[in-house]
Amino acid sequence: MPLRTPICDILQCHYPILQAGMGGVARAELVAAVSTAGAYGFLGMVREAPDFIAAQIDAVRAETDRPFGVNLIPAATEPSLFRAELDVCLARRVHSICFFWSVDAEAVARAKAGGCIVLYQVGSVKDAIAAEAAGADIIIAQGFEAGGHVRGAVSSLVLLPQVAAAVGCPVVASGGFATGRSLVAALSLGGQGIHCGTAFLATTESFAHDCHKNALLAAGSEDTVYTDAFSINWPPHSPVRVIRNAATDQLGGQLVGHDPDDLWWEQVATDSGRPIYRYSTDSPLRTTCGNVDELALFGGQCCGMVTTIVPAARRINDIIREAEATLHQFENNLYPALPAEQLVGSL
């Protein structure tokens, strides 16, 4: 079974497919579906209240006994809240924690001391080395084509083999991976699996608003925008990749160089009574009301290959089936790998 890699033993999952912990979007329903289907889910809990995190962990456990993790972002969370978030994860004995953005060695040390497996998503070789030195067990190498916040400047095709060569721990590929063929590519580039956001955003169980899912389906790979305008709640100059919409068009070509203090904090939506401002990093959720299609519609360049909203189990099954078929074709010297019409929109 070439698709079973050592990370499957570390994470105790059947398939080397990790569902990215997307803030707001990856809640208990999605994570339970992913882990039940044999992949590995992460609750996206950035800046969530500790009580909510505890309830979400309990909700996944009520649905499945398969392992899953929690995603937190130290750099984008007020320090006392971050400490409380990590405390609740450790008290609940979560299986793993996935951190993102700048490397926070203290957070890694606390999570390790609490008995967690630690994954760190990074965007450069330098940060990969720092995360491993801090004690991370698995590095997730995020390429520039990724949806959501984009940490680095190099594409997955180029970054992944360099990170895999630079660290001793297992590496997982992130950014642009949504198909079985891309899983095979990740394995051939030194990765031990793939970490997918966009592919799992477009599932029935994701908590994203339908307008976000539909925008993703309609978008081609040229329709994403890399900008640091959506900066409220994050450190200045934290770029994201979003699907182009009225908010990005309004930037008039000035996509980078924005500061949260310079932006006009106009309320355009609400979520459970909470105001949501234009250029906030909150994406529209099932519970968001207002001008939802003007918010940050995070999405990666692989949106051009994601053309259906399906249950998460189906997405995982399709990726695995396509990866196995691709490997089979390589073994039998069958080129091209698949008919052209299946190369796009195969999901």
State in angstroms the smallest separation of the CB of 193 from ligand FMN: 13
Q: Which is nearer to ligand FMN, 44 or 170 (CB)?
A: 44
Q: Which residue carries 């809640």 as its tokens?
A: 27
Tokens encoding 246: 């009225």
State in angstroms the smallest separation of the CB of 141 from ligand FMN: 10
State in angstroms the smallest separation of the CB of 333 from ligand FMN: 31
Q: In whole angstroms, what is the distance from residue 235 CA to residue 109 CA? A: 23
Q: In whole angstroms, what is the distance from residue 270 CA to residue 112 CA? A: 37
Q: In whole angstroms, what is the distance from residue 290 CA to residue 273 CA? A: 11
State in angstroms the smallest separation of the CB of 62 from ligand FMN: 23
At 98, give phi and psi (nearest 5°): -115, 120
Q: Which is nearer to ligand FMN, 36 or 142 (CB)?
A: 142
State in angstroms the smallest separation of the CB of 21 from ligand FMN: 5
Amino acid at the residue 304: G
CA distances from 283 to 214, 243, 291 (A): 14, 11, 11
Give which of 218, 175, 214, 212 is closest to 197, Cα–Cα. Answer: 175
Q: Which is nearer to ligand FMN, 279 or 298 (CB)?
A: 298
State in angstroms the smallest separation of the CB of 83 from ligand FMN: 18
Q: Which residue carries 């580039």 as its tokens?
A: 189
* DSSP state for residue 285 in the 8-state scheme: B
What residue is closest to ligand FMN based on CB? 197
Q: Which is nearer to ligand FMN, 185 or 253 (CB)?
A: 185
Q: Which is nearer to ligand FMN, 142 or 238 (CB)?
A: 142
State in angstroms the smallest separation of the CB of 332 from ligand FMN: 30
Q: In whole angstroms, what is the distance from residue 34 CA to residue 94 CA? A: 16
Which run of H or E residues covers position 30?
helix 28-36
Query: Could you list the residues that contact ligand FMN (CB under 6 A)?
Result: 20-23, 25, 44, 46, 71, 73, 100, 121, 142, 146-149, 174-177, 196-199, 201, 283, 298-300, 302
State in angstroms the smallest separation of the CB of 190 from ligand FMN: 18
DSSP string over 209-245: -HHHHHHHHH--GGGEEEES---BTS-SS--EEEE--
Q: Which is nearer to ligand FMN, 272 or 332 (CB)?
A: 272
Q: Which is nearer to ligand FMN, 295 or 334 (CB)?
A: 295
Q: Which is nearer to ligand FMN, 211 or 329 (CB)?
A: 211
Give which of 55, 308, 346, 44 is closest to 197, Cα–Cα. Answer: 44
Q: Which residue carries 């040390």 as its tokens?
A: 109
